[in-house]
A and B are shown apart, each in its own frame.
Chain A
């Protein structure tokens, strides 16, 4: 066999083997192309589809390649698809890896894909087509989104609950925080050192030791832990945090990590405290209003309010002071914590601190955090220092625009008064104000009543005194002159200067005599001197006997227990005048026939009764009537009796006569 032949044969065999191998490889490639779950394609830059494997067709919902190839990709892509970027990148880099995008399927639904692609060029560098793979990542994408959503939810939940979570990789000393935890500690992520030490720095210095102890304990016993601490934000605000945590072991039973949560319960705690405060405050106010309702005296109510408020604020001194017309403050009742000097009885002349006084007059409250910093109090500096007052909370009590009192809390060191303290003290003072104002109004009413009575008493006294004076004058001066005149006339008659029966002389003597009688009558009516000299019983009897002649009714007088007894002059005068007034009334209105005047003194009590059998009247009607003379007459009688501490009662009815009862207690 020629060598050539053998050579050729060999070559032939070789070629066949290669061809076979090639076919097998092509077949494998085709099999791969056909069966791989990843889409494979080849397209032109202008969007014609040259090749697409079954996986891609399935992914996009096409039945055959022909169907897909009939479409131009440029129209297939969604508006959001970065086709321009895709082309530019391939043009520039020749390759794109891991592009995640959304493709549109045949039925319009979408599919999340991850693409790889490369540009295929001829040897001249001319772009032939793009070739690429497409992987359906929809499921993964959905899982990712779900995870993101749940993480977002967690963060949201943490935010709402003010609950942050942390994890501490002990070995690496790496601390990871949830976003909320940063917020709780008032930090931005980059500000936190992410070490245990950095964490400790966020704890309020006073609580640090305790937190360390707690975590140290968890280190050794691996038990879950639970604690409260205060945290300090970089801006200085203090938050109250509830921490929980537990240790996590590795497979070998060694401590690997610690995980836990921290919840900001500041608001919660504040609300709880506010609730507690408002409950105790309510109790405080309630106890004061109970005192008020219990009809305690004003002094007792003040004492109660001061005591209760001091118990409520045990570190403050609480005081109520009165302020008089001259702006002199006197501490009426004060309670102080142990160690502070007592204030009760202290007096301060407020006019020495006019600005402070003006503030008390004007404001609902005068709040002083530090008396040394308050210029208004400068004049009182020494007094405040001696009494250890460094801060004060004053609530003035006013009555009809006048400053009458001061409810005050004070502290021995500077103190900025919280809203709660201010409100509580103001409320207590408001309760007190009502009571004190009422008491003041009552006092003023009583005072004006007393003044009125005093005025009346003076008026009556002056009137009686004046009457007495004129009566005396009539007797002692005019009376004497008339007597002298009469004696002169008599001398004229007796000594023969004129004939004894001279008519002019006799007429002058008669006239003079009349004048004397008249002067006497006027004097007696003004005020019988017997009332002063001989007493009520005698004077009244004489009056009634004399008066009987003038009245058109008979007067029956009976007296018991007074014949030898003198009563206090004001009582005698008052009774005498009342009987006169009553008889005048009878004479004017009653058309009576008989009048009884009864006078009885028994066991320190004087009873006077004037009763007539006249036509009577409706007492209510007369007293209700406008300012008639009759009504004023009755009121005048009432007043005169009241002035001597007695009471007057009038009983009358039309047709049934009238009885006036006067009862006067006589102090012995």
Chain B
């Protein structure tokens, strides 16, 4: 069985050497090219027939994201495994969109890199376990208690008016001035309408208003 041909792109020599040693220790893997810049990585990707490129996200000159996008374009069969110090899942999304096959945190690299290479080489997506849990988290914690729009009809006209103005971002003082009532009264209306609609927070109020079509979301 042919060995997996691996490319390495990282500007930190010790890291690169460490990774190379790890990979080359695998009987079915072999590092066939190394680069320490984005430009170098791009050239390698073009010249070397490799299966996986393990690439640091923050390379000098050309960023890892750009190189990923180019590879995806020119060598779609070359799998990109991004190695990064950044744990924001937002980055991850960006890179997956650009065509990366795996997203590996540097601090976990020593433990995970071999598994990750195997996963992407096999055509799978690899997400660092810590990040994966975040993604699941935010999926689970979906916009909460949405209120009960069907009960909106129970609001008095004044309460609806106050709700609308709160959703539009007016302060209690401004609402009081607009409706010619006291700030205290605005607070009372607000408390009452939140109780009636079972809204916990101002964010709920805004979402309620959006659903009612009172606020145009864009």
Residues of A within 8 A of B (CB): 475-476, 479-484, 486-491, 494-495, 509, 513, 516-517, 520, 524, 528-530, 533-534, 538-539, 542, 545, 556-558, 560-561, 594-598, 600, 607, 609, 611, 613, 649, 651, 653, 656, 659, 661
Contact = CB atoms under 8 A, between A and B. Distances in A.
A649 B25 contact: no
Contacts of A538: 88, 90
A597 B144 CA distance: 14
Given A545-B137, A609-B169, A484 B89 contact: no
B110 A486 contact: yes
B210 to A, nearest CB: 8
Contact of A487 (B21, B134, B172, B206): B21
Contact of B172 (A490, A520, A561, A651): A651
B45 to A, nearest CB: 22
B202 A651 contact: no
Nearest to B215: A560
Interface in B53-99: 58, 85-91, 94
A600 B200 contact: no
Contacts of A649: 171, 173
B169 A534 contact: no
Given A529-B86, A594-B201, A659-B202, A558 B58 contact: no
A542 B22 contact: no
Given A483-B110, A490-B18, A516-B107, A556 B86 contact: no
A517 B90 contact: no
Contacts of A561: 217-218
Contact of B138 (A509, A530, A545): A545
Contacts of B12: 480-481, 483-484
7 contacts: A483-B109, A487-B109, A545-B138, A545-B141, A560-B206, A653-B187, A661-B169
B202 A611 contact: yes
A495 B21 CA distance: 9
B204 A556 contact: yes
B204 A488 contact: no
A596 B87 contact: no
Contacts, number: 141
Given A475-B85, A482-B107, A607 B202 contact: no
Contact of A594 (B21, B200, B206, B218): B200
Interface string B192-215: 000000001111101100100001
A230 to B, nearest CB: 76
A484 B18 contact: yes
A6 B58 CA distance: 197
Interface in B151-191: 169, 171-173, 183, 187
B22 A490 contact: yes
B201 A656 contact: no
B116 to A, nearest CB: 14
Given A484-B18, A545-B137, A545-B138, A556 B144 contact: yes
Contacts of B90: 530, 534, 538-539, 542
Nearest to A529: B86
Contacts of A476: 58, 85
A556 B87 CA distance: 22
Interface string B25-56: 10000000000000000000000000000000
B118 interface: no
Contact of A556 (B134, B200, B210): B200
A538 B94 CA distance: 12
Nearest to A545: B138
A476 B217 CA distance: 39
Nearest to B206: A558
A476 B14 CA distance: 13
B132 interface: no
A217 to B, nearest CB: 87
A558 to B, nearest CB: 4
Given A491-B18, A534-B90, A607-B169, A598 B110 contact: no
